[in-house]
Chain A
Amino acid sequence: MSFRQTKICLAAEGIELSDINVQRRQFLKTSVGAAAVTIAPGMLLFDMAHGKSEAVSSKIRWGMLIDTAKCVDGCNDCVTACNKENGLAGGLSSGGLSPTGSQWIRKVELKDMRGGRTLSLPMMCQHCENPPCVDVCPTGASFKRADGIVLVDKHLCIGCRYCMMACPYKARSFVHEPLHDQKPDVPRGKGTVESCTMCVHRVDKGQQPACAEACPNKSIMFGNLNDPDSKISKKIRTVASTQVRADLGLNTGIRYQGL
């Protein structure tokens, strides 16, 4: 049917061509509007879920410097903050403190066997540059982000616990029981391995890890080890700091001062 024939037909039915154009425009407008209303919240959530839009870069290496002289014996604020932030039960399992409960950070009390000097320090995943847990993981669930944070992909972890055998810092916990009331930012999973994430969800938003923020004596300094002008880099240049089990050559992201 040609345009002319259509016009004749429509004219016969008493419909003007301009009416159709208006209807068509209306339809297009409604469609675009409906599509926008449908997609926009998704886009917004997508944006929210991904936080910052730029990719993690190896120009940054997140790390911590822990001043053991400032860390007070008996103070547990960093541990409490970590448990609250990440929705952990604080090593509790079946009602009491149990070796099956997850502890992402713990306070370790040390006493020099010769001199008798005592000190206290927080121990957690050391976010190694060459992490043994990543080497041994059969599925690649244990991985290191470009910015040096060592994480476990809960969807890939099959729960073999080989990483726990390999970690020299006893930094990892296995989820032995069903979980309830998880934090949306910190997904966990029964039957998978987990450890300190350096509060990656906070760091990606430009915040400090919960333990560093909670320390009343500011004994945990968090920052970019790769930036020579960062506070942490300047401090590491001026004070003596050690890595735990430096003999293994893992180049940990967590350094201790006064150990």
Chain B
Amino acid sequence: MSSHSPLQFKNRLFYALVAAGGLVMLLGLYAAHMMEEHGHIITGMNNQIVWGIPHVFAIFMIVAASGVLNVASIGSVFGKTIYKVRAPLAGLLSIALLAGGLTVLMLDLGRPERVIVAATNYNITSVFAWNVLLYTGMFVLVSLYLWTMMERRMNPWTKPAGLAVFAWRFILTTGTGLIFAFLVARQAYGSALLPPMFIVISFAWGLAVFLVVQAAIYAWNDKVLDPAILRRKKNLLGIFIMGALYLVVAYHMTNLYFAHQSGFERFILADGGIYPQLFWWGYGVLGNVLPLLLIFHPGLGKTRSVISASLMVILGGFALLYVFIIGGQAYPLSMFPGYEVSSSFGDGQIGQYHPSLPEFLLGFGGLAIAFLITIVSVQVLDFMPHDKPYIADQGTPD
């Protein structure tokens, strides 16, 4: 570095990152190609656990895509300056995550080449079909929103565009929650709590992703983030983590109260092997206890602690989704209450799932797409937050 100018270093770093992201993306595309060539037999998914690791990655990204817009909403809708300057980056991240998540979902289809059928043959009663419109609308609205912010002549329209995005992302995450809330068949799903749970969870995951990306971009651009800005956002992250935890607890408590759900809850929370482990250690400790300690413990809460806490929230999110999506399917369908059931098709038995390499490659490929969209856009357009030297926001606390 010493022999080169900072600009050269920055450019080399950029190309190295693009190459690394591109490689991961290509590996993901290769995995999708193999899945199409050989069929889903090369994945760990089967007729009992029909959605696997790709769905964990995709749903994380789609939920975070909505949550990351919090930063923009607080800026544009509620007029907080330090958030306002971050709104373009938040909007960009939203588009990037949505693109990454949807690519994974699409490439995991049994017939990805027919994805256009989802547009030409539309089933009005399907919440999946509603989501196709919600995702498309999200791309359009966030793009418009970015335009109003980045094109000076359009600036007066930023607030209405921000409001529209604010409303749309609530509906979008409601739609994501409804994918599961409308499933009457399985014990884990079919609850009206799921849409609000997904919304509050999206706040926490989205902000955590934003804080990590912001820290990385600042570091790569040799910029220093004012600790005062981070301090304000870390408190918000703490509140979101607790809000999400509250809804997850409420979901399990209501299940525990219903006698017919107690078997399922025992499976998820106590004797289901990997699922309780991931729930308590992955989501409980890594996703909640440790981040809250790092955020609120006096003496901690500095930049490094906040970024660590954000990373933990993200990992905890993946753990929660693994338990929710895969654990929820592993528990057998309750077709004959009061009977012990067995068959050649796994009735009455816990479903087995061993995720395979192509599934992980596809999932990481989606993350790489989001990463590439973000770094290339930050490089070529003005998405970096421009903070004023002093951040007072006229002393108004968040």
Q: Please encode chain B, from 85 to 97, with 1 for each CB lying within 8 Å of some chain A CB and 0 for all others.
A: 0000000000000
- Residues in B with CB closer than 8 Å to A99 are 46-48, 345-346, 351-352
Per the 8 Å Cβ criterion, residues 324-376 of B in contact with A are 329, 333, 335-336, 338-347, 351-352
Taking CB atoms, residues of chain A closer than 8 Å to B344 are 91, 97, 103, 106-107
Q: Give A155-174 interface residues, CB cut-off 8 Å to B.
A: 156-162, 164-170, 172-174
- A182 to chain B minimum Cβ distance, whole angstroms, is 15
Point out the residue from A113, A135, A177 that lies within 8 Å of B126, measured CB to CB.
Answer: A135
A175 touching B126, Cβ below 8 Å: no
| A110 CA to B335 CA, complexed, in Å | 11
A157 & B110 in contact (Cβ 8 Å cutoff): yes
Contact count band on A: 35 or more
Bound Cα distance A175, B110 (Å): 8
Q: How far is the CA of A190 from the CA of B36 in the complex (A)?
A: 9
| Contact in complex: B341, A108 (CB < 8 Å) | yes
On whether the beta carbons of A191 and B109 are closer than 8 Å, the reply is yes
CA distance A167 to B325 in the complex (A): 16
Q: Is A187 an interface residue (CB 8 A)?
A: no
Is there contact, CB below 8 Å, between A94 and B41? yes
Q: Which of A70-121 contact B (CB under 8 A)?
A: 91, 93-94, 97-103, 106-114
B157 within 8 A of A: no
Minimal beta-carbon separation of A81 from chain B (angstroms): 15
Q: Find chain A residues with CB under 8 A from B46 CB.
A: 98-100, 176
B40 within 8 A of A: yes
Known: A109-B341, A161-B110. A138 touches B129 (CB 8 A): yes
The CA of A85 and the CA of B157, in the complex, are separated in Å by 64
Does A123 sit within 8 A of B, measured CB to CB?
Answer: yes
Q: Which of B126, B182, B343 meets A138, CB within 8 Å?
A: B126
Are B117 and A191 in touch, CB under 8 angstroms? no
What does DSSP make chain B's interface, helix, strand, loop or mixed? loop
A-binding segment of B183-191, B270-278, B305-313: B183-191
Q: Are A158 and B111 in contact (CB under 8 A)?
A: yes
Query: A149 an interface residue at 8 Å Cβ cutoff?
Result: no
Q: In the bound complex, how far is the Cα of B51 from the Cα of A140, in angstroms?
A: 20
> Complex Cα distance A134/B329, Å?
20
Q: Which residue of A lies closest to B260 (CB)?
A: A247
Q: Fill in one digit per residue for B125-152: 1 if any A CB lies within 8 Å of its CB, else 0.
A: 1111100100000000000000000000
Q: Would you call B118 an interface residue if the criterion is a C-beta within 8 Å of the partner chain's C-beta atoms?
A: yes
CB distance from A83 to the nearest CB of B (A): 12
Query: What separation, in Å, do the CA atoms of A92 and B140 have in the docked complex?
Result: 46
B154 interface hit (Cβ, 8 Å):
no
Asked if residues A190 and B342 are in contact (CB atoms below 8 Å), the reply is no
With a cutoff of 8 Å between Cβ atoms, the chain A residues found around residue B183 in the complex are 132, 136, 165-166
Interface contact B185-A109, CB-CB below 8 Å: no
Inter-chain CA distance A136–B186, complex, in Å, is 14
Flag whether A193 is at the interface (Cβ < 8 A): yes
Q: Is B3 an interface residue (CB 8 A)?
A: no
The reply to whether the CB of B114 lies closer than 8 angstroms to some CB of chain A is yes
Our count of residue pairs bridging A and B at CB distance below 8 angstroms stands at 175
Known: A132-B185, A177-B41. A157 touches B111 (CB 8 A): yes
Provide the residues of chain B in CB contact with A138, threshold 8 Å. 118, 122-123, 126, 128-129, 132
Contacting residue for A100 out of B47, B114, B179, B343, CB 8 A: B47
Q: Which of B109, B329, B343 has the most CB of A within 10 A?
A: B343
- In the complex, what distance in Å separates the CA atom of A160 from the CA atom of B22? 27
- The CA-CA distance from A250 to B58 in the complex, in Å, is 31
CB nearest neighbor in B for A93: B41
Contact A123 B39 (CB under 8 A): no
Q: Whole-angstrom distance between the alpha carbons of A244 and B335 in the complex?
A: 7
Q: How far is the CB of B124 from chain A (nearest CB, A)?
A: 9
Q: Which residues of A contact B223 (CB under 8 A)?
A: none
Q: Which residue of B lies closest to A90 (CB)?
A: B344
Contact B185 A165 (CB under 8 A): yes
Within 8 A of B (CB), among A120-143: 123, 132, 134-141
The complex places the Cα of A98 from the Cα of B351 at a distance, in Å, of 12
B347 CB contacts on chain A under 8 angstroms: 106, 108, 123, 170
Chain A interface (Cβ < 8 Å from any Cβ of B):
91, 93-94, 97-103, 106-114, 123, 132, 134-141, 156-162, 164-170, 172-178, 189-193, 244-245, 248, 259
- List the 8 shortest-distance A-B pairs measured between CB atoms, nearest first: A159-B110, A191-B110, A99-B46, A138-B128, A168-B185, A161-B50, A140-B123, A138-B129
Query: Can you report 21 residue pairs joining A to B where beta carbons are below 8 Å apart?
Result: A91-B344, A99-B48, A99-B352, A108-B342, A123-B335, A134-B125, A136-B128, A137-B123, A138-B118, A138-B129, A139-B121, A158-B115, A160-B110, A161-B51, A162-B126, A164-B50, A178-B39, A190-B110, A191-B40, A193-B110, A259-B336
4 more contacts with CB within 8 A, not counting A102-B47, A136-B126, A158-B117, are A106-B344, A114-B338, A140-B121, A165-B50
